[in-house]
């Protein structure tokens, strides 16, 4: 069973610290935001996401990367296609994943949410191992924090974002999870 420790780290998980985070304002962590990402777009298994989240992406390594040169982003967790989870930001810190966003009338979702990136895109199915890991991670996060909701990036920033995309099976993910 997965668990979150007192420092906001997933016990036994690979932790690669991202500089793209800061202190949270006072208040509860109450929202999980589900994203998808792949770098280069549509390609899986490389180190592009890790490099993006740690500001070490070589912008000359792929024609798409120069557009990301000034971007400073992160997420708390990244779930690989094989279900392996990498943590980039402790849960007690604010990761920079949601951008301009709003949930249930509250803006600045980064202030009160946890960002979970799934290795994927809007154009492919997610892997069985990802759904299993995401469910276990969700249960651990709910045991540690007063999570009141789960939303896609597209739900909190609908004019800007489409992820986790049409191939994310919300019913499959939420089946067996109480309180959505």
- Catalytic residue positions? 117
Structure tokens that stand for 99 in this block: 């951008």
Closest CA to 49 of 77, 21, 23, 22: 77
Strands 77-79 and 85-87, by their bridges, are antiparallel
Cα–Cα distance for residue pair 23/44, rounded to 1 Å: 31
For residue 108, the tally of other CB atoms under 10 A from its CB is 15
Q: Where are the beta strands (DSSP E) in 18-138?
A: 21-23, 31-37, 77-79, 85-87, 93-95, 102-103, 106-107, 113-119
User: Whole-angstrom Cα distance, residue 24 to residue 37?
Assistant: 24
The tokens describing 77, both together, are 């967790």
């Amino acid at each position: 069973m997965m668990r979150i420790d007192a420092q906001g780290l997933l016990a036994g998980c690979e932790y690669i610290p991202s500089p793209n985070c800061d202190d949270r304002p006072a208040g509860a962590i109450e929202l999980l935001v589900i994203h998808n990402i792949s770098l280069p777009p549509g390609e899986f298994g490389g180190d592009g996401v890790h490099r993006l989240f740690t500001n070490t992406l070589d912008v000359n390594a792929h024609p798409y990367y120069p557009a990301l040169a000034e971007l400073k982003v992160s997420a708390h967790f990244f779930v690989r296609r094989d279900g392996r989870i990498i943590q980039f930001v402790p849960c007690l810190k604010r990761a920079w994943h949601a951008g301009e966003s709003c949930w249930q009338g509250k803006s600045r979702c980064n202030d009160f949410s946890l960002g979970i990136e799934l290795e994927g895109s809007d154009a492919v199915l997610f892997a069985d191992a990802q759904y299993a890991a995401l469910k276990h991670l969700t249960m651990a996060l709910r045991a540690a924090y007063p999570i009141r909701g789960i939303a896609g990036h597209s739900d909190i920033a609908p004019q800007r974002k489409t992820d986790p995309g049409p191939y994310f099976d919300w019913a499959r993910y939420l089946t067996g999870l109480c309180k959505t």
